[in-house]
Amino acid sequence: MKNKLDDVISEDMDHQTQIKEFVTVRSDYYEGQFKFIGDKRGFAYTWNWMAFVLGSIWFGMRSLWAYYLPFVALETLAVVQLARGIWGDLGAPILARLPGIESTLQNRYQQLAEAKLSAPDNVASFESSIASLERAVNGIKADAVAANATSLQLIILGFIGLFTIKTVQAILANPALQSRFSKWLSDQSLGNGLNTQKIVLASTLTAVTYITCSLKFGFPEVFPSLLTFPADPQVQSSVAEAIKTWMNKAAISTEWFFDGLTFGIRNVLDALETIFVETPWPVMCGFILLLTGLSAGWRAAIFTAAALAYLGYLGFWDKSMMTLALLGTAACISISLGIPLGIACARNQHLYSIVRPILDFMQTMPAFVYLIPIIAFFGTGKPAAIVATMIFGGSPVVRLTVLGIRGVPKTVREAAMAYGASKRYLLWKVDLPLAMPSIMAGINQTILLSLAMVVIASLIGAKGLGEDVLEALQYASEGQGILAGLAILFCAMILDRIIQGKRR
């Protein structure tokens, strides 16, 4: 019995030590609060005076940044209202319209005086215009006076808002800190205690937010530099000129490389165009229906037949085949490069750390932006459109290949190696078959994303269905645009059924 009591006392002392290490100050207070919160079912209503006084700064000092950010935004709204009500000239933005109206009014007075001497028929018109402008001036002055009269309302609103926010902060402070303490017990790498760095960071960020927002919204005419970033147009023009010069030099010095790349892409494209476009349409329809039926079933083949009939009877057959040839070239190159690269990245973390930012760039950069360097290095036409399509759609196959290879269970690989499997056997007979669903999803996404580029690619000379959509946009031909868009949709759905049929 005595040993059990000693163990309980020892555990309590350890718990007290942990709380003291975590909170640094007022450990006795927080020990009682944490115990109360832990023993109570549901939400425990407590009050923290330090959080009420310091507000969002307290949450920043305690590394509760998820609470700090929304609270500092709400506090800033209340502080801005207080600053506008106490020091702001609420009528100034309204009175800023007066100089222009008064200048126009003076011109009308001069025109009225001249009309009385030379054109009496226009006197009534000028007098009416002057009366209207005078009413506008008086209305603006009245609005400015009314705006200044709302200062007390803003002060009361800001005070109520700030008090409400601080009340919420005082109530949530202890439960939030207790929750972080529970996480800290299992993960000592989380920040704990108080230090000068966190106090200075939270205080400085809060003060800067309060002051700059109050000055901008309370005194916009006094601090115009806060309205827009003080940028220098010369910097942008000089950097843009430097980039242009570099691209011109790079295009000239690497012309041989990009000419060879264009030649290779052109050969692949010509071969696929011969297959898709030159093959008689009954043969092509038969092969597409057969592939769909074998892959996704004969119900999908019936839908495919209806989609092919749509493409044929509405005159989109040749352009659809040209689009599929362009898409097939981009997809074949992307998949041929993406799957080996994904396998290498899955096995080499350092390589993936280099490749991943490039993939992020490929996915996030707007397509219209990277069309500019593509035109500089490849010119316009189908090869340039294929390169743009590869950049836009090549990322998923790499990412999902990495995901699939890394998702292969280690126990399966260890069992294969225990039976003497070589690296080549392990890759072809274990890793790739188990990762195939993820890889097929990457191939599907690459093809569909590439198909989404057909309209943008038509801007730089790619033919096909995207050309019809582009013409519809240029000439506001709604019917043509919708029909061509449906043709692109049907092409995408047919490809999706063929590629993903077995995986489903």
Q: Residue 7: its pLDDT value, please?
A: 46
Helices (H), 365-500: 367-378, 382-393, 395-406, 410-418, 423-426, 432-451, 454-457, 465-475, 478-500
DSSP state of 193: S
Count CB neighbours of 419 within 10 A: 7
The label of the residue with tokens 């009314």 reads 146
Across the chain, how many H-helices and E-strands are there? 25, 0
pLDDT value, residue 49: 92
The burial of 256, by beta-carbon neighbours within 10 Å (0-12 exposed, 13-18 middle, 19 or more buried), is given as: exposed
Residue 384 near residue 374 (C-beta atoms within 8 A): yes
Check residue 6 and give its pLDDT.
44
Query: How far is the C-alpha of 473 from the C-alpha of 471, rounded, in Å?
Result: 5
Q: Are 472 and 466 in contact (CB under 8 A)?
A: no
What one-letter code names the amino acid at 25? V
Nearest Cα to Cα of residue 116 among 100, 104, 130: 130
CA–CA separation, 201 vs 60, rounded Å?
Answer: 8
Closest Cα partner for 473 from 457, 489, 484?
Answer: 484
The answer to whether 393 and 450 are in contact (CB under 8 A) is yes
Tell me how far CA of residue 138 lies from CA of 95, 106, 404, 501, in angstroms. Answer: 11, 15, 73, 74
CA 305 – CA 378 distance, rounded (Å): 38
Query: Per-block average pLDDT, block size 10, for the chain (504 residues)?
Result: 47 72 85 85 87 92 90 91 80 75 81 76 77 82 78 88 93 91 82 80 90 78 71 82 85 82 83 82 87 82 88 87 84 88 91 90 79 80 83 88 90 86 86 89 84 77 79 80 85 79 53
What's the pTM? Answer: 0.66
Task: Cite the DSSP H helix spans in 88-150.
Answer: 92-95, 98-118, 123-149
Of 260, 281, 327, 267, the C-alpha closest to 463 is: 327
Would you call 380 helix, strand, or coil by DSSP?
coil
According to the model, what pLDDT value does residue 72 have? 92
What pLDDT does residue 322 have? 85
Can you tell me whether residue 217 is helix, strand or coil? helix
* Greatest CA separation for the chain: 118
Instruction: For residue 25, give both structure tokens.
Output: 């100050």
- Given phi > 0 = left and psi -120 to 50 = alpha, else beta, which region is 24? left
| 174/51 Cα distance (integer angstroms) | 9
pLDDT in the model for residue 11: 52
Alpha carbon of 446 to those of 38, 56, 334, 343, 393: distances in Å? 51, 46, 8, 16, 5
Structure tokens at 377: 């290095």
Report DSSP letters for 289-352, one per residue. HHHHHHHH-HHHHHHHHHHHHHHHHTT-HHHHHHHHHHHHHHHHHHHHHHHHHHHHHHH-HHHH
**168 CB-near residues (< 8 Å, 6+ apart):** none
Cβ-count burial of 101 within 10 angstroms (0-12 exposed, 13-18 middle, 19+ buried)? Answer: middle
Secondary structure (H, E, C), 242-305: HHHHHHHHHHHHCHHHHHHHHHHHHHHHHHHHHHHHHCCHHHHHHHHHHHHHHHHCHHHHHHHH
Q: Determine the Cα–Cα distance for residues 82 and 214; give it in Å rounded to an integer.
A: 9
Task: Give the pLDDT of residue 275.
Answer: 83
Per-residue buried b or exposed e for 352-386, using 16+ beta carbons within 10 Å of the residue's own CB: beebeeebeebeeeebeebbeebbebbeeebbbbb
Instruction: Tell me the three state secondary structure of residue 358.
Output: helix
Report long-range pairs for 407-411 (Cβ below 8 Å, ≥24 apart): 407/434, 407/435, 407/438, 408/434, 408/435, 409/434
* Residue 128 structure tokens: 């009416």
Rounded CA gap, 265 and 331, in Å? 12
If we measure between CA atoms, which residue out of 384, 373, 378 comes closest to residue 459? 384
What is the C-alpha separation between 477 and 481, in angstroms, rounded? 6
